[in-house]
Structure 1
Amino acid sequence: MTEKCNVIYLDCFAGISGNMLLGALIDVGMPEELLRSELAKLPISGYEIKVTRVNRGDICALYVDVRVDEHGHHHRNLTDITTIIDQSGLGSAVKENSKQIFTRLAYAEAKVHGVPVDEIHFHEVGAIDSIVDIVGVACAFDYLGVERIYTSRLHVGSGFIKCCHGLIPVPAPATAELLNGIPYYQGAIAKELVTPTGAAILAILGSGFGSMPEGFISRKIGYGAGTWEIDIPNVTRLYLGEIKKV
């Protein structure tokens, strides 16, 4: 009997972010209550997760909104985040994947800003919402038994975005650093469609980029929603299926 492995293929025609991917994973079978119970193992508080079904264009998708209270916006460095993950009751694979993703983020930021990695203090990418997104995605991959993750070319958007230091180009410098080796294109939509969190997840966990793997058979399709209404449906499409092991 031919062995098969569980595979995900991500169609990123409108980009990808941590919460878009998390929404798509819930849509294909990650139980919401199990996700909440796993995230409750993290020694953090001051946030609420709201999962709603929304329409983006003509596509129905799940939108994951992590709402952080006014006392929850702490600046943390890589050691702080690693400690939070290590002190949790999460499984070893979830811990390892989550720490690798944050480590890749920290090194990308350090290179862009020209400082040692231990001097990087996470702001947007290190806030509670990103910890929840990254650990939540790692939990979902573990629960679904995903062995490989393939991704289409990424639509990153175009134009400029405002950050604490002024205007920066899309893709943001840290995102561009994380996308080394991953095919992407800009397109005409003047928005940041691929976030640093989304890029870091793919940089660490991605198995192949550019096209659906040969012999892939889809079993379920899910959609994770982004925040904006744009000219195309602002969703990440996730195919959960299998391929033959080689």
Structure 2
Amino acid sequence: VIRRMIEGAATLPEWVKARSIRAFQLLAEAEAATHGARPEDVHFHEVGAIDSIVDTVGTVLALHLLGVDEVFASFVPYGAGTVWTAHGLLPVPAPATLRLLAGVPMCPGPPSASGELVTPTGAALLKAIVSSFGRPPHGFVPEKIGFGAGTKEFPKHPNVVRVTIGTVHDLGKPHANPQAVGGSPVAARPAAAP
């Protein structure tokens, strides 16, 4: 259903459709492996909501419209504690999130931010769009900075994500580096010829 919705969006560029569909495919594979099912049989609970589709497609479309060629992300904070889901109380990171983040460098989140810091949808989006995790590449020159805020409240820590768009001058091509506060995204655009 989600794939058909995205493929049927006539005005979306193919680049946006492909990466958005990839994120949901990765999510379906992780959920299927977690529950012993086939990806095509996965019923999305929390992630099936329209807002997850809008968040995913909107993020990929924004990268396209901003002319971002490559995305780099900080290490991903794994959170702590438990989270309530459609499947009951689960440890953080939730099993599907952890499967999606296999091979991705992780770090502890802020001590005051207990709970889920990366959702399965967020992890799938990172896997679908990020080229590499860690520090921004050498030669990255920040040009624009944006922030987004989530609705979950942490007592002593902001629930925000920062995106920095800039150019990697030693590579001559644009990049994006996503990082949550404690890790922030960064996006790069192509560098102008010297």
Superposition TM-score, scaled by structure 1 size: 0.65
Q: Which runs of 4+ in 1 moved over 2 A?
A: 185-189
The whole-number CA distance in structure 1 between the counterparts of 2:103 and 2:50 is: 28
1:84 is aligned to 2:9? no
1:81-230 counterparts in 2 under 5 A? Answer: 81-89=2-10, 90-187=12-109, 188=111, 189-230=113-154
1:30-69 counterparts in 2 under 5 A? Answer: none
The whole-number CA distance in structure 1 between the counterparts of 2:87 and 2:28 is: 18
Matched position secondary structure for 1:118: helix
2:46–2:86 CA contact under 8 A, matched in 1: no
Greater relative contact order, per chain length (Cα 8 Å cut-off, separation 6+): 1
Aligned to 2:164: 239
Shift of 1:186: 3.2
The whole-number CA distance in structure 1 between the counterparts of 2:70 and 2:81 is: 32
RMSD of the alignment, in Å? 1.3
Counterpart residue identity of residue 98, structure 2: A
Q: Deviations over 1:97-149 (max 9, x none)?
A: 11111101100101111111111011111211101111111110110111111
Matched position secondary structure for 1:175: helix
The whole-number CA distance in structure 2 between the counterparts of 1:228 and 1:157 is: 13
Counterpart residue identity of residue 150, structure 1: F
Superposition TM-score, scaled by structure 2 size: 0.82
Q: How many residues align?
A: 167
> What are structure 1's unaligned runs of at least 5 residues?
1-79
Q: Deviations over 1:172-204 (max 9, x none)?
A: 111111111111123433211111111111111
2:45–2:86 CA contact under 8 A, matched in 1: no
Matched position secondary structure for 1:229: coil
Counterpart residue identity of residue 92, structure 1: E
Shift of 1:229: 2.7
The whole-number CA distance in structure 2 between the counterparts of 1:139 and 1:164 is: 29
The whole-number CA distance in structure 1 between the counterparts of 2:86 and 2:17 is: 30
Matched position secondary structure for 2:116: coil
